Structure 1
Amino acid sequence: MVFNVLKTRRFRNYFIADIVSGFGVGMSTIGANWYLMDRTGSITSVGLMLSLNVISGFLVSAFAGTFVDRWNRKSILLWANVVRAIALLLIALAFLVTGFHLEYLYAFAAVNGMGWALYMTASRSLVQELLPEKDLIHGNSLIEISLQVGMFTAGGLSGILYKFIGFEAILLLNTAAFIVSSLFLRRIEYTAMPNDNAGESYVKSFRDGFHYLAERPSLFVLGIVSIIPLVTTMVFNVVLPGYVSTAVKGDSIVFGLSDMCYGIGGLLSGFLAAPLARKLSQHGTILIIFLVSVLNLAAIAFNTTVFLLYIGCVLIGLTNSSLRILMTTTLMESVSKSYMGRATSVWMGISLLLQTVFATGLGVVIDRYSPGLGFICMSALMLIGLIAYYVLNSKSPQNQRIEA
């Protein structure tokens, strides 16, 4: 049963901290996208802001993995929350005092990107320390549940809050969420993994992380495939505001509810992915989910009704999140704990680089043509993931995971 891992007090505290943090990040990110479009009317501007988000994350990911593998991961998460809370408080005050300035949203995007990249690398590495290998798939399912509970609650509320109290109040709520999340992180008690490379220079430790993946090409490719759903989610965030506004003629509430539906699908994945993988093979489940995603995204491209958009968003959340659960579990089972931070940062850096290209390029294309084209691109991206995963696993059909 997926909830059995919550009997462990330390993971329970982590789970609650992750929900609260995800709620804050989701609410401010969704609010910022609509706020910028509301003020400028330009999807290109939304794409540029999201590009700054991922570029900032990419720059941090270059050293985050080595940093995470050398220091206490719980402490890193605490400080990441505190620094982000202070930065968002300052940005909110700047908006309240001087009014709308595009530069403030760009600063928000940079803080969000850097904080998210460091948090993701450290938090997933910490989970690998907190749970035994047999519980990793349930732990990852709960992490996805915690993320989506935070995100879909944020999606439902952000449109309403934006309409009635404004983006500045949303930033203040995000600040409070980081503080509350930190209080639960402080309650986690565990014995940190000993640092075997404490005497090494930072550069050598950084280089060893690349060598680790270079010597394991199948593992490296699997990691690349695992980031495709994440890149697709980023593209979804770029495409959705314009799609809601033009294809289905919706407002900020429809936009927020659409994102909430994505979160509902992600929440369902936390309950369905592990049982489905047990009933079928993990390999077969991943292939089926990739295929469903390709077909769903292609269908949404030609939709013009709000109701079908909500259904499609649920399926996007279900497929993307299920793939993240199953593939992240495989990576955690395969990557050595002492290299998990560095391996994750390499894949995260590649993910953010791809997101930068797609966010900027698609913003321009959608402004010129149609938001539906963005969903066609997302479908094509998932098709590439499907083919790559099939080819990768067909080389060793007897293996259910790629050994490190």
Structure 2
Amino acid sequence: MIFSLLKPSNFRHFFIADIVSGFGVGMSTIGANWYLMDQTGSITSVGFMLSLNVIAGFLISAFAGTLIDKWNRKTIILWAHGIRAIALLLIAGAFLWAGFRIELLYAFAILNGIGWTVYMSASRSLVQEIVPENDFIHGNSLIEISLQVGMFVAGAVSGILYKYVGFELILFLNSLAFIAASFFLIRMQHTPIQLDNKGERFFETFKNGFSYLVERPYIFVVGIVSIIPLVSTMVYNVVLPGYVSIAVGGDSVVFGLSDMFYGIGALLSGFIAASLAKRFSQNRTIILFFLISVLILVVVAFNTTILLLYVGSVLIGLTNSSLRILITTTLMETVSKAYMGRSTSVWMAISLLLQTVSATGLGIVIDRYSPGVGFICMSGLMIVGLIVYYALSSRKQQQKALDTNF
């Protein structure tokens, strides 16, 4: 049973902390987008702010991974939460003192990008430490559930708070969320893994992490496959507004409900992915979800009805999140704990780079042709993931057969 993993206090504290911090980040991110649009009416400014978020995360990724593999992962998260809480209070105070200043929102975006990248790399490495290996898939399922719960609540609360009390209070509550999350993390009593690189210089640790992936191409490529659903999710967010308006003739309500149905599908993945993997095997389930994703994306690309968009959104959310759960589990089972931080950071950097390029390129393609082309591009991305993963799994099975014979 998936929730049996919450009985040990260590993971239960981490799970609650993940929900709380995710709620804070989601609430302030949504609020920042609304605040900037409300004050400037400029989509270009919102796009630039999102780009700063991605670029900041990309630039910090290499340094973050090396730090995470040199020091206690829980301590790094606590420091990151503390620094972000103080910085958010300073930004909120600056808004109250000076009023709206666009450079303050850009500073928030940079802080958000750096903090999210550090947290994702450190927290997923910490999960690998505190969860027994045979429960990795349940741990990743619960992490997906915590992410979606946090974002669901944030989406509902952020709009109300922004309307009645303003963006400054949202930043203040985000700061409190980081402090509350830190309280739960402090209560974790786990034994960190023994690191054998404490005496190494920073550059040496970074170089060894790079060499670890270069010498293990199978792990590196599986990691690349793992970011495809993440990039696909970003593409979905880029494509959806124009698709709702043009392809199905919907309004803001349809847009909001489509996004909600995606979240429902993502939430369901936390309950479904592990059960299917247990029944059919992890590799077969990953291939199955890739196939379902390809088919539904092609259908949605040529769709003109709102109902099918809702159904498609549920299935897209389900397949993307299930693939993240299953492939991340494969990586946790394969990557050495001593190198998990650096490896995750490398893949996150590649993901952020692809997201930046894809967002720009898709905007041009959609403006020139139609929003449905965006879903065709997502389908093509999933086909690449399917082919690469199938080739990798087939090769691994052949290698196992050869090893057994000899």
Instruction: Give, in angstroms, the shift of residue 233 of structure 1.
Output: 1.7
1:221-241: CA deviation from partner (whole Å, max 9, x where unpaired)? 011000111111222333334
Instruction: Give, in angstroms, the shift of residue 296 of structure 1.
Output: 2.4
Q: Which letter does structure 1 place at the counterpart of 2:19?
A: I
Matches of 1:90 and 1:301 in 2, distance apart? 45
Identify the range of structure 1 (90-99 vs 199-208) with the bigger mean alpha-carbon deviation: 90-99
Q: Which residues of structure 2 form unaligned runs of 5+?
A: none
Instruction: Give, in angstroms, the shift of residue 374 of structure 1.
Output: 2.9
Q: Which letter does structure 2 place at the counterpart of 1:193?
A: I
SS of equivalent to 1:397: helix
2:360 aligned partner:
360
Structure of greater Rg: 2
1:305-359: CA deviation from partner (whole Å, max 9, x where unpaired)? 5544433322222111101110011100101111111111111111111112122
Q: How many residues align?
A: 400
1:134-175: CA deviation from partner (whole Å, max 9, x where unpaired)? 111111111111111111222344344445544444333322
Q: Structure 1's 266 and 83: CA in aligned 2 closer, same or farther, altered over 3 A?
A: same
Matches of 1:193 and 1:179 in 2, distance apart? 25
Matches of 2:221 and 2:79 in 1, distance apart? 32
Q: Structure 1's 43 and 313: CA in aligned 2 closer, same or farther, altered over 3 A?
A: farther
1:99-152: CA deviation from partner (whole Å, max 9, x where unpaired)? 444333322221111001100110011111111111111111111111111112
2:119 corresponds to 1:129: no
SS of equivalent to 1:396: helix
Q: Which letter does structure 2 place at the counterpart of 1:335?
A: V
Q: Is the 8 A contact 1:47 1:360 kept in 2?
A: no
2:294 aligned partner:
294
Instruction: Give, in angstroms, the shift of residue 94 of structure 1.
Output: 3.6
Q: Is the 8 A contact 2:62 2:342 kept in 1?
A: no
2:203 aligned partner:
203
Instruction: Give, in angstroms, the shift of residue 36 of structure 1.
Output: 4.1
SS of equivalent to 1:356: helix
Matches of 1:366 and 1:163 in 2, distance apart? 32
Q: Structure 1's 392 and 265: CA in aligned 2 closer, same or farther, altered over 3 A?
A: same
2:170 aligned partner:
170
2:351 aligned partner:
351
**Structure-to-structure mapping, 1:96-135, within 5 angstroms:** 96-135=96-135
2:30 aligned partner:
30
Instruction: Give, in angstroms, the shift of residue 73 of structure 1.
Output: 0.7
Instruction: Give, in angstroms, the shift of residue 18 of structure 1.
Output: 0.4
Instruction: Give, in angstroms, the shift of residue 211 of structure 1.
Output: 0.8
Identify the range of structure 1 (100-109 vs 324-333) with the bigger mean alpha-carbon deviation: 100-109
Instruction: Give, in angstroms, the shift of residue 250 of structure 1.
Output: 2.5
1:180-222: CA deviation from partner (whole Å, max 9, x where unpaired)? 1111111111111122111111111110111111111111101
Q: Structure 1's 9 and 217: CA in aligned 2 closer, same or farther, altered over 3 A?
A: same
1:73 aligned partner:
73
Matches of 1:184 and 1:13 in 2, distance apart? 5
SS of equivalent to 2:69: helix
Instruction: Give, in angstroms, the shift of residue 364 of structure 1.
Output: 4.5
Q: Which letter does structure 1 place at the counterpart of 2:264?
A: I
2:60 aligned partner:
60
Matches of 1:360 and 1:159 in 2, distance apart? 28
- The sequence identity of aligned pairs, in percent, is 70
2:325 aligned partner:
325
Instruction: Give, in angstroms, the shift of residue 381 of structure 1.
Output: 1.6
Identify the range of structure 1 (132-141 vs 367-376) with the bigger mean alpha-carbon deviation: 367-376
1:8 aligned partner:
8
**Structure-to-structure mapping, 1:243-282, within 5 angstroms:** 243-244=243-244, 248-251=249-252, 254-282=254-282
Q: Structure 1's 308 and 353: CA in aligned 2 closer, same or farther, altered over 3 A?
A: same
Q: Is the 8 A contact 1:47 1:359 kept in 2?
A: no
Q: Which residues of structure 1 form unaligned runs of 5+?
A: none
Q: Structure 1's 287 and 92: CA in aligned 2 closer, same or farther, altered over 3 A?
A: same
Q: Is the 8 A contact 2:258 2:313 kept in 1?
A: yes
1:186 aligned partner:
186
Q: Structure 1's 226 and 40: CA in aligned 2 closer, same or farther, altered over 3 A?
A: same
2:336 aligned partner:
336
SS of equivalent to 1:190: coil
Matches of 2:90 and 2:300 in 1, distance apart? 39
Q: Which letter does structure 2 place at the counterpart of 1:58?
A: F
Q: Structure 1's 239 and 103: CA in aligned 2 closer, same or farther, altered over 3 A?
A: farther
Matches of 1:384 and 1:372 in 2, distance apart? 19
2:224 aligned partner:
224
Q: Is the 8 A contact 1:276 1:285 kept in 2?
A: yes
